Chains A and B, each alone.
Chain A
Amino acid sequence: MALPKYTEPHYRIWHYVYLFICACVFFFLIAPLFVIFPLSFNAEEFLVFSDGMKRLDPEAFSLRWYEDMIYGTKNPWGLAAKNSFIIAIFATLGSIILGTVAALGLSSRHMPFKGLIMATLISPMIVPLIISGVAIFFFMAKVGLAATHLGIILAHIILGTPFVVITVTATLSGFDHSVTRAASSLGSDPVNTFLKITLPLILPGVISGGLFAFVTSFDEVVVVLFLAGLDNTTIPIQMWTGLREQLSPTILAVATCLIVLSVLILVTAELLRRRTERLRGINR
Chain B
Amino acid sequence: MSSETQKILTTDGIPLEESLKKAEKKNKIKAFLLVAPLLLFIIITYIFPIGEMFTRSIDDRMVTNMLPKTFKAMETWDGKELPSEEVFASFLSDYRALAEKKEHGKLGQRLNKEKNGFNTILKKLFRKMKKFEEGNAKEQIMAIHKRFRDVKYWQAIKRTAPPYTMGKYLKGMDMYLNEDNKIVQVEEDRRIHRILWLRTLEVAFFVTLFCFLMGYPIAHLLATLPMKYSNLLMICVLLPFWTSLLVRTASWMILLQQQGIVNDFFVWIGLVTDDNRPEMMYNKTGTYVAMTQILLPFMVLPLYSVMKTISPSLMRAGKSLGGTPFVAFWKVYFPLTVPGIGAGCLLVFILAIGYYITPALVGGASGTLISNQIAYHMKATLDWSFASAMGLMLLTGVLVVYWIYNKLVGIDNIKLG
What is A's interface to B at a CB cutoff of 8 Å? 1, 11, 18-19, 21-22, 25-26, 28-30, 32-33, 35-36, 39, 47-49, 98-99, 101-102, 104-106, 108, 110-112, 117, 120-121, 123-124, 126-139, 154-155, 157-158, 161, 163, 165-167, 170, 212, 215, 218-219, 221-222, 225-226, 236, 239-240, 243-244, 247, 251-252, 255, 258-259, 262-263, 265-266, 269-270
Alpha-carbon gap, A25 to B296, bound state (A): 10
Residues of A within 8 A of B37 (CB): 98, 101-102
Q: Tell me if A33 and B354 are in contact (CB < 8 A).
A: no
Contact A21 B45 (CB under 8 A): no
Q: From known contacts A134-B388, A221-B245, A265-B242, infer whether A128 and B49 are also in contact, taking CB-CB under 8 Å.
A: no
Question: Judging by beta carbons under 8 Å apart, are A126 and B350 in contact?
Answer: yes
Tell me how many residues of B have a C-beta within 8 Å of chain A.
85
Contact partners of B240 in chain A: CB under 8 A = 29-30, 32-33
A18 and B217 contacting across the interface, CB-CB below 8 Å: yes
B142 contacts A by Cβ under 8 Å? no
List, in ascending order, chain A residues with CB within 8 A of B242's CB: 215, 262, 265-266, 269
Q: Which residue of A lies closest to B411 (CB)?
A: A119
B395 touches A127 (CB 8 A): yes
The answer to whether B395 touches A110 (Cβ under 8 A) is no
Which B residues touch A35, using CB under 8 A? 251, 254-255, 261
User: Chain B 202-239 against A: per-residue CB contact (8 Å), 1 yes, 0 no?
Assistant: 00000000000011011001001100000001011111
Residues of B within 8 A of A124 (CB): 42, 46
Indicate which residue in A99, A112, A132, A251 contacts B46 across the interface (CB closer than 8 Å): A132
The answer to whether A251 and B239 touch (CB under 8 A), given A110-B24, A135-B53, is: no
Nearest CB of chain A from residue B75's CB, rounded to whole Å: 34
CB-defined contacts of A108 to chain B, threshold 8 Å: 27, 30-31, 34
- Hey, which chain A residues are within 8 Å of B233, CB to CB? 26
Can you list 18 residue pairs at the A/B interface with Cβ under 8 Å?
A22-B218, A29-B293, A32-B293, A33-B240, A48-B260, A108-B31, A110-B31, A112-B28, A130-B375, A131-B53, A131-B395, A133-B378, A135-B391, A158-B41, A161-B38, A240-B246, A258-B247, A259-B243
Q: Is the interface of A mostly helix, strand, loop or mixed?
A: helix
Q: Does A117 contact B250, Cβ atoms closer than 8 Å?
A: no
| For the complex of A and B, 8 pairs with smallest distance between CB atoms | A128-B354, A105-B34, A105-B35, A135-B49, A110-B27, A108-B31, A102-B38, A130-B371
**Contact residues in A for B361 (Cβ distance below 8 Å):** 240, 243-244
**Residue pair B217, A22 in contact (C-beta under 8 Å):** yes
Q: Of B27, B46, B250, B391, which is within 8 A of A158 by CB?
A: B46
Q: Please state if A158 and B42 are interface contacts (CB–CB under 8 Å).
A: yes
Query: In the complex, A243→B254 CA distance in Å?
Result: 11
B50 at interface by CB-CB < 8 Å: yes
CA distance A269 to B237 in the complex (A): 14
**Is B356 on the interface with A (CB-CB < 8 A)?**
yes
